[in-house]
Amino acid sequence: MLKDFGYIGIFLLFAIAIPAGMLLLSWALTFVRVRPRKPNPVKYTTYECGMQTIGGSWIQFNFRYYLYALLFVVFDIETVFLYPWAVYFKQLKLFGFIEMLVFILILLVAFVYAWKKKALEWS
């Protein structure tokens, strides 16, 4: 088992080296004058379709996204319970089936509540 993860560790080194290497290569090309570098204060302003930038962007944001994050946490944790159950389902048989049915039904109450409260609507 540990040997399997060891391979992933080796693979991780390559997975880091490839994207980092690409960006470093691009950066190194500046010094052999292949990649241009012509600084200009206007060039480094924040893009806003050619208009002058008004204020910063690190501001308060629409509350709507927060609800989705909450829902995601609830239902993604549910899936954490579903995976081991699915793997051992053939051993658990009917007991496991009813057990999970009850669990999902409890969560479905929350889902229906969220739906009725219009947490799933965008506007």
Partner 1 sequence: MDWVYDLFPKLHAAIEGWLRSILPPSIESAGVYIVMGVLSAFLLINVPLILVMVLIYMERRLLGRFQHRLGPNRVGWQGTLQVIADGIKLLTKEDIIPANVDRWVYNLAPVLFAIPVLLVFAVVPFGEEIYLTDLNIGILYIVALTATSTIFVFMAGWASNNKYSLIGAMRSVAQLISYEVPLVLSIVGVVLVVGSLSMREIVDKQSIPFILLQPLGFLVFIVAVSAELNRSPFDLLEAESELVTGYHIEYSGMKFGMFYLVEYIAGLAYSAVITTLFLGGWKGPILPQYVWFVAKVLLVFAVLIWIRATLPRVRIDQIMGFAWKFLFPLALINIFITALEVLLWPEGFPAWLVVVNLGVALGLLVVMQVLFRFPGATRHVVPQALVGRG
Does position 69 interact with partner 1 (CB under 8 A)? The reply is: yes
Which is closer to partner 1, CB of 113 or CB of 115?
Answer: 115
Of residues 85 through 104, those in contact with partner 1 by CB under 8 A are 86-90, 93-94, 97, 100-101, 104
CB of 94 to partner 1, least distance (A): 7
- Among 31, 60, 116, 123, interactor with partner 1 by CB under 8 A: 123
Give the chain's radius of gyration (CA, Å): 26
Q: Is 35 in the site for partner 1 (CB under 8 A)?
A: yes
Question: Judged by CB under 8 A, does residue 23 bind partner 1?
Answer: yes
- The smaller minimum CB distance to partner 1, of residues 48 and 109, is found at 48
Please give the size of the binding site for partner 1, defined by CB under 8 A: 71
Element (H, E) at 108: helix 89-116
Place of tokens 């927060």: 66
Extract the tokens encoding 9: 């560790």
CB of 62 vs partner 1, minimal distance in Å: 5
Token pair of 95 as six digits? 């007991």
DSSP string, 9-58: HHHHHHHHHHHHHHHHHHHHTTTTTSS-----TTTTSPPSTTSPP-S-S-
In angstroms, give the least distance from the CB of 37 to partner 1.
6
Q: Enter the tokens of residue 5.
A: 């993860």
